[in-house]
Chains A and B, each alone.
Chain A
Amino acid sequence: MAGGGADWNAYNLPAIWSMIQPENACAGADRVLSWLNLATACRDQHRRLLAARADLAEVWPPESNASARVFMRQLDLLAASLDQTLTRAEDTRVGLQGVFDAIGAAQATIRPLAAERAVVSDDLIPRLLDHAEDGYDERARQAMREAEAAIGEHGTQIRAPALYLLQSDATVRADGLPEEAGPGASAGGGPAGGTLRAVPRPVAVPHDPPAPSAVPGPAPGPGPGLAGVAQAPPPPAAGAGGAALPPPVTPGAQVSGVAPPGLVIGAGLGLPSNAAAIGRAGAPGVAGGLGGPGAAARGSGVALRGASGARRPLPSGAVIGAAGPGGGIGRAAPVPALGGAGRGAGTGDGGGEAPAGAVDQRWGVPVGVAPVIAPDTAEPEHGPGPGVIGLDR
């Protein structure tokens, strides 16, 4: 069967198990039984139709009636199509049974592997040392390769019947069946060439495999705690206590990613409200991204608009996120850097005028500042360390 196989090397066992675990063998068995019942019912109907036709032929013999031949030919076409439909239904039933058998075999193989792998995944030995999970992954991949091959093989038995149509004699094939719908047939299977045909209703084909790059591994939980290592506390909630996280999105809030005019992103948190770097006209200039105490890098922000509301391109030489030390209170720079003084916020003149300075102007950088951290001048000692218990060196 044509169609490329999946790259199973891109999936590990948990990903593979997530694919086939939802396969419902009971639902599959129900559908197989439905096809079987359908084929049986079609066969009974076909038999009754032929019997009725034979009875009619006795009283209206086509051998001696051209009019009867016209009528009987159409009945024969109906019977032939019904016969093909029931034959294809039987074939489809067999093919579908094979597909579900293949899936069931894969499930039976992979289910215990998934359980065993979960055990070795949770032990204390990391995967990079023992590679315990790799063997399970490969066995699962092999099971899926076999299942895929079996599905492809059984899938060839799934065949659609030719669409039934009442048509002129000129297009009737030698075997009495209507022509197979070819590429030239009408897209919807509707009337074509002066004939009426059955119009199929499209069936959705669910196909939503996980992306290979999104292979689900073991649950990314916190893992076992290390002795003596304190767990990092969760990030503090935004509030007046100095946290510098962006505010949560509240109903009705603007979520399109565009800040309101005059707002400095990242500012306003951890600072008194009256000190937030809102670039209002006439407001005292507050430079920098304005993180509050301990705001660190989050304090730096992007001054989108000042009072004038006009957005400007980033001038050459500007530094995104440049702010004061630690991203805290920055300094008003001649050329407003994004994250530095916002427009209308630098000088506080309220005029919304362009700050002084020329394009491509280089900033002065303080030099000769004494370092805060100095290297340790003590001579290090590289001894072998204490001996193992009972084996002194």
Chain B
Amino acid sequence: MVIRLGSGGGEGGMPHGVEVGTAQVGEFAKGLRLEADSGFAALAERGADLHRHGVVFGASIPGGTVLEVKNRYARALADTEANLRAYRRAAVVFADVAERIAREFASVDLASAEAQRRVDGLLRGAVAQADAALAGAAPPGGKAF
């Protein structure tokens, strides 16, 4: 899987010599990972709980009007739950990338074009890892995260 993140390096307006606190990036990574395991995880659980209950009205009511409302609700349940699961995975991905940035870019000028390319590569790699990790447990029809 190939994901293009950003348009690549070499933007004309890039300043030079900007000092970046990689330690703070590391703090951001820790905070985001904590959120992935707590806040986003709780959100995913709330979504799963709603999803488990399913469509809870109008099972015996005839007519296309009620059926359409039930279909809308079913889709709202499914898509919301899927998003909440995905947010948690995305938070993990971003936390991984931020951690690696903090670790590998401690002595590198993050404003440089080379740093941008490396960040792009980290993001692609993190997403690919998430993709590979979930490929085995993906539901029918495609991979998910």
A residues with CB within 8 A of B: 1-7, 11, 18-20, 22-24, 27-28, 31, 34-35, 37-38, 41-42, 44-45, 48-49, 52, 55-56, 58-61, 64-71, 73-75, 78, 81-82, 85, 88-89, 92, 95-96, 99-100, 103, 144, 148-149, 151-152, 154-155, 158-170, 186-192, 194-210, 212
Q: Are A23 and B58 in contact (CB under 8 A)?
A: yes
Contact between A207 and B59, CB atoms less than 8 A apart: yes
Q: How far is the CA of A144 from the CA of B58 in the complex (A)?
A: 12
Residues on A with C-beta less than 8 A from B127 are 166, 196
* A-B interface, 10 closest residue pairs, ranked by CB to CB distance from nearest: A190-B142, A188-B141, A6-B63, A155-B69, A3-B64, A199-B144, A209-B62, A198-B86, A200-B78, A67-B116
Q: Mark B15-29, 1 if CB is under 8 A from A, else 0.
A: 100101100110010
Choice from A49, A158, A167, A207 contacting B3 with Cβ under 8 Å: A167
Q: Please report the C-alpha to C-alpha distance between residue A31 and residue B123 in the assembled complex, in whole angstroms.
A: 37
Interface residues of B in 1-34 (CB under 8 A from A): 1-7, 9, 11, 14-15, 18, 20-21, 24-25, 28, 31-32
Known: A56-B28, A60-B25. A100 touches B57 (CB 8 A): yes
Contact yes or no, B65 A190, CB < 8 A: no
Q: What size tier do the contact residues of chain B reach?
A: 35 or more
Once bound together, how far apart are the Cα atoms of A148 and B68, in whole Å?
A: 11
Which B positions have Cβ atoms within 8 angstroms of A? 1-7, 9, 11, 14-15, 18, 20-21, 24-25, 28, 31-32, 35, 39-40, 42-43, 46-47, 49-51, 53-87, 90-91, 93-94, 97-98, 101, 110-111, 113, 115-120, 123, 127, 130-131, 138-145
Closest to A24 in B: B56
Q: Which of B3, B63, B69, B113 contacts A66 (CB 8 A)?
A: B113
Chain A's nearest CB lies how many Å from the CB of B51? 7
Q: How far is the CA of A73 from the CA of B141 in the complex (A)?
A: 28
Are the C-beta atoms of A22 and B60 separated by less than 8 Å? yes
Q: Using CB atoms, name the residue of chain B closest to A63.
A: B15
Interface contact A5-B82, CB-CB below 8 Å? no
Q: Select one of A24, A67, A152, A198 contacting B83, CB under 8 A.
A: A198
Q: Which residue of B lies closest to A98 (CB)?
A: B69
Q: Can you name 28 A-B residue pairings with CB atoms under 8 Å? A: A5-B63, A6-B64, A31-B53, A35-B50, A45-B40, A56-B98, A64-B14, A64-B15, A66-B11, A67-B115, A70-B123, A71-B97, A85-B80, A103-B57, A148-B65, A158-B72, A160-B80, A187-B141, A189-B82, A190-B138, A194-B4, A196-B3, A198-B145, A199-B138, A199-B144, A203-B55, A205-B70, A207-B70
On chain A, the residues within 8 Å of B143 by CB distance are 190-191, 196, 199
The docked-state distance in angstroms from the alpha carbon of A261 to that of B119 is 81
Please state if A155 and B2 are interface contacts (CB–CB under 8 Å): no
- Additional A-B contacts beyond A22-B60, A159-B72, A196-B127 (9; CB < 8 A): A70-B119, A82-B87, A85-B80, A96-B73, A161-B83, A166-B3, A187-B141, A194-B2, A199-B82
Contact B94 A45 (CB under 8 A): no
User: Is A200 within 8 A of B82, CB to CB?
Assistant: yes
Which residues of A sit under 8 angstroms from B72, Cβ to Cβ? 155, 158-160
CB of B23, distance to nearest CB on chain A (Å): 8
B77 nearest in chain A by CB position: A203
Contacts of B71 in A (CB 8 A): 205
Q: Is the CB of B76 within 8 A of A6?
A: no
List the B residue with the shortest CB-CB distance to A2. B68
- Cβ of B29 to closest chain A Cβ, rounded Å: 9
When the two chains form their complex, are residues A191 and B74 in contact, meaning their CB atoms are under 8 A apart?
Answer: no
A152, B69: Cβ atoms under 8 Å?
yes
A71 to B60, CA, bound (A): 49
* B61 & A20 in contact (Cβ 8 Å cutoff): yes
The reply to whether B43 and A38 form a contact with Cβ atoms under 8 Å apart is yes
